[in-house]
């Protein structure tokens, strides 16, 4: 007999970007495993990226409810003097060394002090009210929430307490001090945030994390909550996404980076290595092309545009998911850039798994951590420390010298298959069923 799950997610089509893919693909495949998804999301949200094409992936018989939300970003833009339009994460997650105007400092203090756990807190009253009606109307059996934003977990927790339904809390990122949360808060605000985090981890029937690093970061602040409720469920790729044709393939060896670049996620080592290759052996540098797709901080765009290697580089704006996949399929090497911060060592980004799904060998400029371990253990490519320009130079020179021979071996099909979205959704369905059949929680209060 099919059961129903209420999925609470801020990022859902027409939202674009990496954050939407996990929940969308679960919605796409859950019915195959005995679960009917019912979605609670937002209407008229201030998304940093919009991708209308993703709406076509929602099964037609999936109920999608959209509640009101009060978002502060119009006020933020007025305070900081920005133009109208979606507020990019590159604005809200900045390099700590960046000099801010007094107006920007004030607006950041307001955000850190009052928007706890995040700037989507204005969604909570509307979503909680609508969620209670949905549960009664749709006869929901279980609640699932996806974060960030962490407000989604607060909504789910409130509905869990009101209805007694089992609740699965899914962490795509960790919480306090993580990239998707303010690095600094006033002490009272930080105390409230930690209280919220502890409440979610304590009350959820099951807790999911996309990586061991995310799980361990959460538990580092709440070690008494380590018990049998925890599951690791990685991100993945949808093989159906790769059925579409690619863009025309270049005669050059193309290295592609898809995603946002801002703050400490800095491509400087890559740029400097290309510049050195161009100085030493321009005939090898001519064989390479660097393609960046996504939202890139102006300082990095200026760095590339002012460099002699700009003739080897192409910067494309944010593209739809399908367009991005088409470019990925036409590339030869996929670039992964993860900055070396303690929190980031537990990151397994969604783009990493799309690279894997495309069968593209990966050049990762990344610290030691979950991503580096996965790439090495499955022979998915090479890992070089982000700031090691000399090592990056050696790799690029080696790639160019081999061309047109493949610079790295192809990915093995048996290593790729466990990360297919359908396989991961089947695991999620099993976790849902276990949460219903055994909802008791072994938590030290």
Examine the pLDDT at 209 and tell me if it is beyond 90: yes
pLDDT the model gives residue 424: 98
Examine the pLDDT at 90 and tell me if it is beyond 60: no
pLDDT the model gives residue 46: 87
197's CB contacts (< 8 A; 6+ apart) are: 117, 150, 175, 176, 218, 221, 222
pLDDT the model gives residue 386: 85
pLDDT the model gives residue 184: 85
Assigned CATH for 3-236+420-437: 3.40.50.2000
Residue 80 CA to residue 104 CA, distance in Å, equals: 5
pLDDT the model gives residue 411: 94
pLDDT bucket at 183, cuts 50 / 70 / 90: confident
Residue 42 CA to residue 40 CA, distance in Å, equals: 7
pLDDT the model gives residue 445: 42
**Average pLDDT, stretch 342-365?**
88
Q: Residue 361 is encoded by which pair of tokens? A: 């060998």
Examine the pLDDT at 178 and tell me if it is beyond 60: yes
Mean pLDDT of the chain: 91
Q: What percent of the chain has pLDDT over 90?
A: 76
Helix (H, G, I), strand (E, B) or coil at 320: coil
- Residue range(s) in the chain whose domain bears CATH number 3.40.50.2000: 3-236+420-437, 239-417
CA dihedral 83, 84, 89, 90 (to 10 degrees): -20
Examine the pLDDT at 31 and tell me if it is beyond 50: yes
Quote the crossing angle between the two packed helices 321-329 and 350-357, to the nearest 10°.
50
pLDDT the model gives residue 75: 59
pLDDT the model gives residue 91: 39
Examine the pLDDT at 427 and tell me if it is beyond 70: yes
pLDDT the model gives residue 127: 98
Assigned CATH for 239-417: 3.40.50.2000
pLDDT bucket at 74, cuts 50 / 70 / 90: low
- DSSP conformational letter for 387: T
**Average pLDDT, stretch 163-189?**
91
**Average pLDDT, stretch 34-50?**
94
Q: Are strands 288-293 and 253-258 parallel, antiparallel or unpaired?
A: parallel
Instruction: List pLDDT tens digits, range 1-26.
Output: 899 999 999 999 999 988 899 999 99
Ramachandran angles phi, psi of 223, nearest 5°: -60, -25
Peptide bond into 149 cis (omega under 30): yes
pLDDT the model gives residue 98: 57
The Cα diameter of the chain in Å comes to 69
Q: Residue 167 is encoded by which pair of tokens? A: 């609740």
Examine the pLDDT at 67 and tell me if it is beyond 60: yes
| DSSP calls for 51-111 | -GGGGGGS-TT--EEEE-----HHHHHHHHTPPSSPPPHHHHS--TTS---HHHHHHHHHH
Q: Residue 367 is encoded by which pair of tokens? A: 């610290």
What is the pTM assigned to this prediction? 0.89
Is 377 exposed, middle or buried, given 0-12, 13-18 or 19+ CB atoms closer than 10 A?
Answer: exposed
End-to-end Cα separation, the chain, in angstroms: 35
Higher-scoring residue by pLDDT: 47, 204: 204
Peptide bond into 342 cis (omega under 30): no
Q: What percent of the chain has pLDDT over 70?
A: 91
């Amino acid at each position: 007999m099919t059961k129903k799950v209420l999925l609470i997610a801020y990022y859902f089509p027409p939202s674009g970007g990496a954050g939407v893919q996990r929940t969308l693909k679960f919605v796409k495949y859950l019915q195959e495993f005995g679960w009917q998804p019912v979605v609670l999301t937002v209407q008229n949200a201030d998304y940093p990226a919009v991708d209308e094409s993703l709406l076509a992936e929602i099964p037609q018989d999936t109920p999608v409810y959209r509640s009101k939300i009060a978002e502060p970003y119009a006020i933020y833009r007025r305070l900081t003097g920005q133009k109208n339009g979606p507020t990019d994460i590159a604005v809200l997650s900045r390099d700590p060394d960046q000099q801010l105007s007094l107006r920007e400092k004030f607006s950041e203090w307001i955000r850190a002090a009052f928007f706890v756990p995040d700037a989507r807190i204005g969604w909570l009253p509307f979503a909680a009210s609508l969620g209670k009606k949905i549960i009664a109307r749709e006869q929901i059996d279980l609640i699932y929430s996806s974060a960030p934003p962490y407000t989604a977990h607060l909504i789910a927790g409130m509905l869990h307490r009101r209805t007694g339904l089992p609740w699965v809390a899914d962490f795509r990122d960790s919480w306090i001090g993580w990239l998707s949360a303010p690095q600094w808060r006033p002490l009272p605000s930080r105390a409230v945030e930690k209280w919220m985090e502890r409440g979610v981890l304590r009350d959820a029937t099951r807790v999911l994390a996309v990586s061991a690093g995310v799980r361990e970061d959460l538990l580092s602040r709440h070690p008494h909550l380590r018990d049998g409720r925890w599951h690791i469920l990685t991100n993945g790729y949808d093989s159906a996404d790769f059925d579409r044709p690619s863009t025309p393939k270049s005669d050059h060896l193309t290295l592609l980076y898809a995603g946002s670049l801002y703050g400490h996620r800095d491509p400087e080592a890559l740029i400097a290595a290309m510049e050195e290759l161009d100085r030493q052996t321009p005939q090898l540098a001519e064989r390479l092309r660097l393609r960046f797709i996504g939202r890139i901080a102006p300082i990095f765009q200026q760095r590339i545009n002012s460099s002699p290697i700009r003739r080897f580089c192409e910067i494309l704006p944010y593209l739809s998911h399908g367009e991005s996949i088409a470019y990925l399929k036409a590339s030869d090497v996929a670039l992964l850039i993860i900055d070396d911060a303690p929190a980031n060592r537990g990151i397994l980004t969604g783009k990493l798994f799309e690279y894997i799904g495309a069968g593209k060998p990966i050049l990762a400029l990344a610290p030691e951590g979950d991503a580096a371990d996965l790439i090495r253990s499955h022979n998915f490519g090479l890992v070089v420390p982000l700031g090691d320009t000399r090592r990056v130079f050696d790799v690029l020179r080696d790639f160019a010298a081999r061309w047109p021979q493949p610079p790295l071996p192809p990915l093995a099909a048996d290593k790729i298959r466990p990360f297919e979205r359908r396989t991961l959704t089947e695991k999620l369905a099993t976790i849902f069923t276990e949460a219903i059949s055994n909802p008791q929680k072994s938590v030290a209060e």
